């Protein structure tokens, strides 16, 4: 029976078949982060609007077009978080984490919200997982961050992944470069799209992202920042590359790489996957050495990334996983109901996945259900207190003592 309500535009429900793949992904990420010493944190789903305006940047698409902003009953302007880096930096400052041993290495996963035009791989509520390494400008931290995302995508088996790497230079170098870029854009104003023309002063870097033919032509001769890096910026970028080379991570330098958030400095990177079509970026990030100061804190260099959970799952395009259970405890007689529950609990405590019938089915119905949920074995409790263990694959059945049930269940497995 269809309900008259549907999930809001640009959102989706995660159904059990998809939930299993999702949990596996989150589990793999959590294990990789834990092994590298990144501690899990969580921040609220909404924040002061101003945090994103200042943090992400007034002229970005996210701030100008995509925020879900509302006023609370006290007249405060709040926004559903469109990204996680500014909130984590806010928490870092609010809780005095700058006084801890640096860097502070954090990881997170959760829902984010952007009012974008929905399409495959682009939603209004989506999920990211990511890391932030705050309080070091060492190129080792950039390389470690990139290596962890590479490892995650590799371990999950995401096909056709490419790493694009760029550098925006330090804040100062970037400022100088932006003046040069603006001059180039102004010199070719007539050939630019209206959108790019109107934002020459506000956000000239986004011209590199334009689909407009005229703009693309202008950008082929535009100065690139990678070509203008100087001094420590050059050394920093060279060291990040050397570390990636040493780790055997392939990348392509993309001098036109830009990102949709204003806070980046020096290293930026993007992992793309051909299989994804238009929304091809599975994850990306970079260094943001000026953000914490921008939010009112001390100068604090940092680097991190976020990956889109839905995009990774789309790229994997796996068959939906079917369920599996170690055991199902069936009863041939109602009198065995409590014992069945107790034995199921015992199996679960021993670390096995086990279910008992909650639907009041007869024995035949229970066996059918056990098959449906992928139970490998069914323990059948007979009316006289005896028990049978049936292997669902071979159909073999033998009498067992429930007194040493765990042994009976695990004994045959190597």
Does position 239 interact with ligand HAM (CB under 6 A)? The reply is: no
Measure the CA–CA gap between 347 and 362, rounded to whole angstroms: 22
Q: Cβ atoms within 10 A of the Cβ of 69, count?
A: 14
Name the helix (H) or strand (E) containing 244: helix 231-246
Nearer to ligand HAM, 107 or 229 (CB): 107
Backbone phi, psi, residue 309, to 5°: -60, -45
Which region, judged by CB under 6 A, interacts with ligand HAM, from 21-29, 91-99, 123-131, 317-325? 123-131
Does position 285 interact with ligand HAM (CB under 6 A)? The reply is: yes
Does position 283 interact with ligand HAM (CB under 6 A)? The reply is: yes
Measure the CA–CA gap between 330 and 311, rounded to whole angstroms: 40
Does position 22 interact with ligand HAM (CB under 6 A)? The reply is: no
Which residue is associated with the tokens 């996210």?
62
Tell me the sheet residues that pair with 329: 356, 379
Residue 281: name the closest of 316, 244, 307 by CA: 307
Does position 103 interact with ligand HAM (CB under 6 A)? The reply is: no
Which region, judged by CB under 6 A, interacts with ligand HAM, from 122-130, 213-221, 372-380, 395-403? 122-130
- Which 36-55 positions form the footprint of ligand HAM (CB under 6 A)? none
Measure the CA–CA gap between 147 and 283, rounded to whole angstroms: 12
Measure the CA–CA gap between 146 and 262, rounded to whole angstroms: 20
Does position 135 interact with ligand HAM (CB under 6 A)? The reply is: no
Does position 205 interact with ligand HAM (CB under 6 A)? The reply is: no
Does position 260 interact with ligand HAM (CB under 6 A)? The reply is: yes
For ligand HAM, the nearest residue by Cβ is 308
Does position 203 interact with ligand HAM (CB under 6 A)? The reply is: no
Do 60 and 112 meet the contact criterion of CB atoms below 8 Å apart? no
Does position 61 interact with ligand HAM (CB under 6 A)? The reply is: no
Dig out the tokens for 124 from the structure: 């209004």
Where do runs of H (alpha helix) occur along 350-393? 363-372
Nearer to ligand HAM, 166 or 284 (CB): 284
- Which 318-357 positions form the footprint of ligand HAM (CB under 6 A)? none
Does position 142 interact with ligand HAM (CB under 6 A)? The reply is: no
Does position 116 interact with ligand HAM (CB under 6 A)? The reply is: yes
Using CB under 6 A, pick the residue from 114, 174, 241, 325 that binds ligand HAM: 114
Does position 85 interact with ligand HAM (CB under 6 A)? The reply is: yes
Nearer to ligand HAM, 166 or 286 (CB): 286
Which region, judged by CB under 6 A, interacts with ligand HAM, from 24-32, 69-77, 306-314, 334-342? 306-314
Which residue is associated with the tokens 């799209």?
193
Q: How far is the CB of 213 from ligand HAM (least distance, A)?
A: 25
Dig out the tokens for 80 from the structure: 């559903």
Measure the CA–CA gap between 316 and 318, rounded to whole angstroms: 5
Q: Cβ atoms within 10 A of the Cβ of 218, count?
A: 22
What letter does residue 373 receive in the DSSP assignment? T
The footprint of ligand HAM (CB under 6 A) covers 83-85, 114, 116, 121-123, 126, 128, 130, 132, 259-261, 281-286, 288, 304-308, 310-311
């Amino acid at each position: 029976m269809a309900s008259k309500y549907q999930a809001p535009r640009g959102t989706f429900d995660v159904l059990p078949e998809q939930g299993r793949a999702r949990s596996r992904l989150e589990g793999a990420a959590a294990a990789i982060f834990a092994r590298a010493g990144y501690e899990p944190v969580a921040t609220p789903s909404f924040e002061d609007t101003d945090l994103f305006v200042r943090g992400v940047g007034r002229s970005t698409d996210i701030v100008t077009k995509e925020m879900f902003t509302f006023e609370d009953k006290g007249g405060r302007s709040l926004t559903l978080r469109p990204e996680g880096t500014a909130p984590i930096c806010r928490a870092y400052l609010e809780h005095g984490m700058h006084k801890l041993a640096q860097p502070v290495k954090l990881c997170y996963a959760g829902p984010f919200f952007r009012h974008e035009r929905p399409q495959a791989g682009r939603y209004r509520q989506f999920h990211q997982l990511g890391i932030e390494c705050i309080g070091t400008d060492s190129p080792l931290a950039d390389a470690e961050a990139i290596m962890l995302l590479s490892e995650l995508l590799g371990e999950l088996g995401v096909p056709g992944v490419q790493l694009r790497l760029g550098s925006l230079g330090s804040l100062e170098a970037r400022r100088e470069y932006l003046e040069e870029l603006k001059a180039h854009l102004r010199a070719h104003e007539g050939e630019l799209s209206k959108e790019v023309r109107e934002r020459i002063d506000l956000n000239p870097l986004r011209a590199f992202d334009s689909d407009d033919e005229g703009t693309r032509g202008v950008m082929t001769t535009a100065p690139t920042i990678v070509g203008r890096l100087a001094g420590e910026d050059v050394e920093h970028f060279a060291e990040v590359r050397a570390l990636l080379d040493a780790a055997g991570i392939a990348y392509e330098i993309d001098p036109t790489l830009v990102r949709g958030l204003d806070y980046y400095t020096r290293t930026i990177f993007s992992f793309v996957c051909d299989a994804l079509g238009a929304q091809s970026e599975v994850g990306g990030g970079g260094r943001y050495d000026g953000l914490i100061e921008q939010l009112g804190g001390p100068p604090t260099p940092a680097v991190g990334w976020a990956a889109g959970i839905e995009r990774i799952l789309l790229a994997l395009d796996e068959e939906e996983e079917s369920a599996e259970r170690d055991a199902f405890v069936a009863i041939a007689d109602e009198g065995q109901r409590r014992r069945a529950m107790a034995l199921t609990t015992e199996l679960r405590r021993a670390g096995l996945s086990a279910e008992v019938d909650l639907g009041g089915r007869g024995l035949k119905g229970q066996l059918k259900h056990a098959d449906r949920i992928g139970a490998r074995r069914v323990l059948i409790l007979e009316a006289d207190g005896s028990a049978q263990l049936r292997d669902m694959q071979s159909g073999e059945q033998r009498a067992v003592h429930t007194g040493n049930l765990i042994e009976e269940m695990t004994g045959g497995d190597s």
